[in-house]
Each structure stands twice: as structure tokens, then as C-alpha cells.
Amino acid sequence: MAARPEVRREPWKDPQAQAYIRIENVTKKFGEFVAVSDVSLSIYQGEIFCLLGGSGCGKTTLLRMLAGFETPTSGRIFIDGQDMAGVPPYKRPVNMMFQSYALFPHMTVEQNVAFGLKQDGVAKDEIAERVNSMLSMVKLDQFLKRKPHQLSGGQRQRVALARSLIKRPKLLLLDEPLGALDKKLREHTQFELVNIQEKLGVTFVVVTHDQEEAMTLASRIGVMNHGRIVQVGTPHEIYEFPGTRFVSEFIGNVNIFEGRIMADEPDHVTIESRELGAPIYVGHGVSTAPDATVWAAVRPEKIMITRDEPNAPLGVPPAMLARDGDFNRAQGVIKEIAYMGDTSIYIVLLDSGKQLRVTQPNSHRHADSPLTWEERVWISWHESSAVVVTE
Amino acid sequence: MAQLLRRLGITGRTAVIAVPWVWLLLFFLIPFIIVLKISFADTRLGVPPYTPLLEWGQDGYVNFKMNVANYLFILKESLYLEAFLSSLKVAAVSTILCLLIGYPMAYGIARSDASWRNILLLLIILPFWTSFLVRVYAWIGLLRNNGLINNVLMGLHIIDEPIVMMQTDFAMYIGIVYSYLPFMILPLYSNLEKHDNTLLEAAVDLGATPFRAFLKITLPLSMPGIIAGSMLVFIPAVGEFVIPRLLGGPDSLMIGRVLWDEFFLNRNWPMASAVAIALLLVLVIPIMVFQRFQEQESSGAHR
């Protein structure tokens, strides 16, 4: 959990750090279909790295190549400095937790967890001891003699986790680890997973299609699309500074304005946008050709919605306001309101014809005169709120 | 009409359930009772060739005569015991041979490409399109001294003298294994085809070599298929008559053959019936074991 940022190391920023997993230009083709296309990636020890993407984006294929169930068509994979080419799955220092859990139905919980140690010829006493301590860690010591079909979904998930951790792998691969759990249990299990990961110091590579799961679990996220890694970054970077439209739309909700670069300075750009009906001021520089078509992305929660005309958007230099008029604001009509409890979602139809999604926290229990349907409102945002994304 | 039926307790549901029960009653239970009755009778000349159990006495009494000598004779006469034992042995060996040949075939079909599977299954079932007897006679054509196999081998000068294969145990086993192999393969296939491949991946991921993964995962999980297939081969093979008669040697002692001889050579219907009942008892035991196993399976290990 990102609750303790001070203890989080960021080895990917350290040029001296040795990558634990190095994926070099890996491509995997199934016949004509390219499942994974020229992926290069470094993952460091102790990370929880999430591969995030929609179905068929190649994330599971990449994971299966790490486990050794698929061999890359080209490119190389190193784990702990060792080239994995030709190393069969049963010889890799890697264990995997399967999406379906793949528990052996004819074995008890105890036998399932002990399976990996038995294959290594570990002594009986030690097996019993390690299985017991592992099962008490995942709080399943009551269920030693049960068969998988006598367990609930959450218990099965923990058996699968215990079974994949029993050999103390340096690297654990998790395929949609929380996919089969209901929402309440998922949240609880997410925290548990992170706790276990910190306790054992295992490197996790997690495949998921669920952006929320990725955001809460990951130290870094690799967003995949059509077999390629589109962006790698911390959850914060991915959410706040998406590089492309795909990333910004895949993770969270976003309003995207198409526009043309008017001025491109080192510390800001201004974009002319017919979709907003006013120029957009973005407080970071980009490097695109002038006149190029770009997209400005603004998260719904970063847009303010007011009945009265807002003051000049914060952060935009007054001199520019005087020269170019309004930035980052427009007028529109509220078309939809969805009350979510903690927040409300407003769909605003701008005068330009563009529909906008705005979320506002419901910080007061009774607003004096709440905004209502068909009301004319102003929307505006701070200069640092928008980011420029490419196609 | 519908109301009348309902008042009698006959609804659509009971009518559907009644069909198999009526079938079993007519074609299994009643014939069984008749055979059981004959087995307790005594032989006599006439039609039918056995004495009735119940008879009106001259004095107005009903005479009930039950002859248990047939059963005692089966226990006393070593011929029957030997025939039983040799039938069980032949059936057991055939079952094991079918399993050894059938398992890899079923496994191969279950693992093959989906588009191939139906074609391969069709090839397994294909022999059924020809009559069983015709296929056994075809084996005579292949195996006899001037049959196809011996002719080819002699033509190639691999052997000078024909190998005697007909009327041997070898030919009998070939016939039985050949005829019953599909009954082994089909239940095995339907079990193996349902196996989840990720279980094997999980086992390999945990350090098992593919062969160990097969031994620890696939084999135990296919146990219901192995048992079902073995039952389907073993039970009919015990009572098999045609194949030992046509392909086996004259000294091959099978209980089916003893039964035939009692009926048609000795015309001793009560004795033959007693042998049939005894055979049934011998076979009911493995069936009950099988049932027990299936109950455990459905209440326990299987998901």
C-alpha cells in the first residue's frame, strides 16, 4: 500500500541498481498474431510491478514467458542475471499464482501447499514445519485437511498464494490474483498481499486488467496495449502524467480536449481548442512541432464547477491573461447529476457542444442551494491540472 | 382423462420415470427371476426340460420342491471353479492390456487439436459399424496358418513354417482386447478431455518434471475413467463366449463356454441357470465396489 511512501525505495531511478528481471526486445507470435511486440523492461528486486491492460493486450503472455510456459519468438529474458532461454519452468527460481488458482482437487490444503517442497525432496519434518507456518501466515491453519472444493473463494485464493510462496521464490508471478473475489474481499486481500510481500521481500509481477487493483498494489505499473508497453511509471505518474490518450483513458476517467499548439515555451504551452471554446494553458513544457494537433487531458476531480464566474484560473500569469483573455474555463449546462455519496458526478454540456465529466466532493451534508439539472454553470481548472497527451 | 390419471398419481413426471423402470422390470428382473427359478429346479425330459417348483398334489396340497443340488455341484465340482478362475484371469489380463493400450490412445486424443479430436474418436468407433461376429471372423482370416500374416511373413522369407496362432490364448487375447478396446478408450477420453491443463502447469511450476506431474496429477484425477473403462471391459469379458470359442484353443476353459455346453450339449437347463446365477454373483461384487467408489467420488474429491 502506498501508505508509507518514506520506506518505498525507487531503484528504477538509481543508475547503479541492478535489474532483477531484464526483458530485452521480447516478441511473441502465435502464427500471424503478434501477442507481445518488442517489449523491453527492467524490474527490480522487492518491487510489485503491475502489468496493466485490457484483454488480449499481451500481459498474460508476457507473464507466461517469465514462468517458462511460453518461449519468446525473439528477444531474451534474464532473471537474476541468468538467461532464461531453454530453462524449463520446473527449473526456474519463479513461482506463479494462477488466475483460476489451479489447486489440485484431489489433494488436501496441506498436500497442495506441500507439493512444491516434495518435488525438491525436502525432508518430511521440514515440509510439515514450513507448511504449517505458511498456512498460519495466510490464516488457514484450521483447514489443513480440507479439500479445495470445501473452501470459499477467498480461502482458495490464500491456499494458492501459500502454495506459490512455500518454495520461497525470489520472484512471484500473479495472474489476476484478485479477479475471482468479491469487492469487499478484494480490498482486504490487496492489503494482505502487500503485507506478505513486504514481510518476505519477494518481487511480485502482477498481471491485471483492473486499474484500481494496479493502483493500490503496484510500486510501478506497465500499461500495455496491442502487445506493447505504452508507459511505465509509478501509479502517481501514470495517473497524473499519462503520456498518451490511451493511458489517460484507460486509467481513471478523463476529459480530453483536442487542440493545436499556439505557444510552446519551456515551462508551459498554450493550446487553442475549439472543443473548450477557450485556450488551454498547461503548466509544463512539451516538445512537439508548433501547429501540431495535441490533446489536453483533465481529470474530472480537478475541474471546478461554480454557479458564478470564477476568478482568473490560478497560476496563469496575469500578463498572459491580459493578452490572450480567458484560459481553462468555459460555460455550460448541467445535463446529468449522479450522487455517489462521497462525491457527485456532473455531466456538463459546454457551449462548444463538448460533454464534460466533473466530480466534486460532497464535503457538506446540506448545501444551501445545490447545483441542479439544466442549470448554467462555469467550469474551470488550475493551470497545473491539465496534461498534454499524444495519440 | 387427465384428471383420472392425476387421481391415480400418474403425472408426466412419473410417466417419464416409469419408462426405465418398466424396461428394467420386463427385460431384467422378470428374466432374472425365471432363470433363478429354473436354477432351483431339477432336469427332466420334456418341454420345458425342467421340473416346476410348485405342483398341485393329488391330496390338495401344494408341493414346493427346491433343488439346491445344482449349486452344491458347482461348489463341489472343480471344473466350475476352474472355469470361473480362468474366466476371471482372462478378463483381468484383457482389462490390463486394454488399459495399457487404451490409456495412451485416450490421452493422445484428449490432447490433440480440437479439430482432430472428433475424427480420431470416429476412428475408434468405426469398427462398430461392422458386425462383431464379422470382425472376429476377420481375425481368423488374418491369424490362421495360411492366413494373411503367415503368408506375408513366409513370402518375405522371415519364417519357413507358419506360426500357429489360431486356437491359442494369444489369438483369444487379441480378439478380446481388439473388441473391447473402445469401451476402455471412450470413458477414459471423456475423463481426460475435461482435465484442466493449468493444473499441470501449476505442478510443473512447483518443480515437478512433466512426467512427475502426470503421475501426481493426471493419473489420480483420471481414476474414475480408469475404473469405468475397466468395468466396461472386465464384466463382459468374464462371460465372453464367442471369442474364446472362435479364436481360443479347445482347452480354453471359460465360464461362458461351460454355460453354453450345459444348455446346448447337456440340455441341463437348471445347471446352466445355476452357473449363470453364480456368474452374476461373481460380477456383482466388482460392480458394487465401483458404485462405492463413484459415491465417494461425487461426495468428495471431485469438483
Q: What is the dihedral of CA B249, B126, B142, B156, to 10 degrees?
A: -140
pLDDT band at A105, cuts 50/70/90?
very high
What number of other Cβ atoms are within 10 A of residue B200's Cβ? 18
Q: What pLDDT, in 10s, does the model give residues B201-235?
A: 999 999 999 999 999 999 999 998 999 999 999 98
Nearest CB partner across the interface for B203, out of A67, A100, A115: A115
Inter-chain touch A90–B205, beta carbons under 8 Å = yes
Round the average pLDDT of chain B to a whole number and report it: 88
For residue A94, pLDDT beyond 90: yes
CA distances from A159 to A136, A139, A149, A153 (A): 11, 10, 12, 10
Cell (9 digits) for B114? 480440437
Query: Residue A110 and residue A148: Cα distance in Å, rounded?
Result: 10
CATH of the domain at B121: 1.10.3720.10
Tell me the chain A residues in contact with residue B208 when contact means C-beta distances shorter than 8 Å.
90, 115, 119
What's the pLDDT at B299? Answer: 60
For residue B166, pLDDT beyond 70: yes
In a domain, B269, yes or no: yes
What's the pLDDT at A315? Answer: 67
Cell (9 digits) for B50? 425342467
What number of other Cβ atoms are within 10 A of residue B147's Cβ? 16
Instruction: Determine the CATH number of domain A253-389.
Output: 2.40.50.100
Q: Which residue has the cell 418398466?
A: B22
Testing the interface with B: which of A69, A106, A122, A157 to mutate, by most B Cβ within 10 A?
Answer: A106
Nearest CB partner across the interface for B207, out of A98, A104, A119: A119
Mean per-residue pLDDT for A252-280? 86
- A interface with B, Cβ–Cβ < 8 A, is 67, 69, 88-90, 94-96, 98, 100, 102, 104-106, 115-116, 119-120, 147-149, 163-164, 167
Is residue A86 left, alpha or beta, with left meaning phi > 0 and alpha meaning psi from -120 to 50? Answer: left
- CB within 8 Å of A73: residues ≥ 6 apart: A27, A28, A29
> Which residue range is the domain that position B270 belongs to?
77-299
Mean per-residue pLDDT for B18-27? 91
For residue A146, pLDDT beyond 70: yes
In a domain, B294, yes or no: yes
Round the average pLDDT of chain A to a whole number and report it: 88
Inter-chain touch A149–B303, beta carbons under 8 Å = yes
Q: What pLDDT, in 10s, does the model give residues A205-257?
A: 999 998 888 888 899 999 999 999 999 999 999 999 998 889 998 888 899 99
pLDDT band at A2, cuts 50/70/90?
very low
For residue A129, pLDDT beyond 90: yes
For residues B70 and B271, is the Cβ–Cβ distance under 8 A? yes
Cell (9 digits) for B69? 443340488
Q: What is the dihedral of CA B165, B171, B174, B178, to 10 degrees?
A: 110
User: Could you tell me the maximum CA-CA distance found in chain A, to the nearest angstrom?
Assistant: 81
What number of other Cβ atoms are within 10 A of residue A21's Cβ? 22
Mean per-residue pLDDT for A135-162? 91
Inter-chain touch B204–A89, beta carbons under 8 Å = yes
For residues B143 and B166, is the Cβ–Cβ distance under 8 A? yes
Distance (Å) from the alpha carbon of B206 to chain A's nearest alpha carbon? 5
What's the pLDDT at B297? Answer: 63
What's the pLDDT at B55? Answer: 80
Cell (9 digits) for B22? 418398466
For residue B303, pLDDT beyond 50: no
Q: Which DSSP helix (H) or strand (E) runs through A52?
A: strand A48-52
Nearest CB partner across the interface for A116, out of B206, B217, B220: B206
In a domain, B14, yes or no: no
The reply to whether A5-93+169-245 and A253-389 are identical in fold is: no
For residue A9, pLDDT beyond 70: no
What number of other Cβ atoms are within 10 A of residue B195's Cβ? 17
- What is the domain partition of chain A in residue ranges? 5-93+169-245, 253-389
pLDDT band at A193, cuts 50/70/90?
confident
What's the pLDDT at B47? Answer: 80
- SS3 string, chain B, reads CHHHHHHCCCCHHHHHHHHHHHHHHHHHHHHHHHHHHHHCCCECCCCCCECCCEEECCCCCEEECCCCHHHHHHHHCHHHHHHHHHHHHHHHHHHHHHHHHHHHHHHHHHHCCHHHHHHHHHHHHHHHHCCHHHHHHHHHHHHCCCCHHHHHHHHCCCCCCCCCCCCCHHHHHHHHHHHHHHHHHHHHHHHHCCCCHHHHHHHHHCCCCHHHHHHHHHHHHCHHHHHHHHHHHHHHHHCCCHHHHHCCCCCCCCHHHHHHHHHHHCCCHHHHHHHHHHHHHHHHHHHHHHHHHHHHHHHCCCC
Mean per-residue pLDDT for B134-163? 90
Count of alpha carbons within 13 angstroms of residue A136, beta-carbon side: 5
CA distances from B141 to B134, B136, B148, B171 (A): 11, 9, 7, 12
What's the pLDDT at A303? Answer: 92
In a domain, B48, yes or no: no
Distance (Å) from the alpha carbon of B296 to chain A's nearest alpha carbon? 12
Q: Is the pTM of this model over 0.95?
A: no
Instruction: Determine the CATH number of domain A5-93+169-245.
Output: 3.40.50.300
What's the pLDDT at B18? Answer: 87
Which of A123-137, A154-168, A349-363, B53-67 has the weakest average pLDDT? B53-67
Length of chain B in terms of residues written:
303
pLDDT band at A63, cuts 50/70/90?
very high
Which of A76-80, A191-195, A364-368, B234-238 has the weakest average pLDDT? A364-368
Looking at chain A, the whole-number percentage of residues with pLDDT higher than 70 is 93
**Which residue in chain A has the smallest CA separation from B207?**
A90
Inter-chain touch A100–B196, beta carbons under 8 Å = yes
Query: Residue A105 and residue A100: Cα distance in Å, rounded?
Result: 12
Tell me the chain A residues in contact with residue B197 when contact means C-beta distances shorter than 8 Å.
none
pLDDT band at A266, cuts 50/70/90?
confident
CA distances from A265 to A22, A297, A316 (A): 37, 19, 13
Cell (9 digits) for B278? 453364480
Tell me the chain B residues in contact with residue A90 when contact means C-beta distances shorter than 8 Å.
204-209
What's the pLDDT at A163? Answer: 95
In a domain, B266, yes or no: yes
What's the pLDDT at A322? Answer: 58
Q: What pLDDT, in 10s, does the model give residues B30-46?
A: 999 999 999 998 888 87
Q: Which of A1-5, A59-63, A138-142, B252-256 has the highest mean pLDDT?
A: A59-63
Count of alpha carbons within 13 angstroms of residue A21, beta-carbon side: 28
Count the domains in chain B.
1
Distance (Å) from the alpha carbon of A103 to chain B's nearest alpha carbon? 7
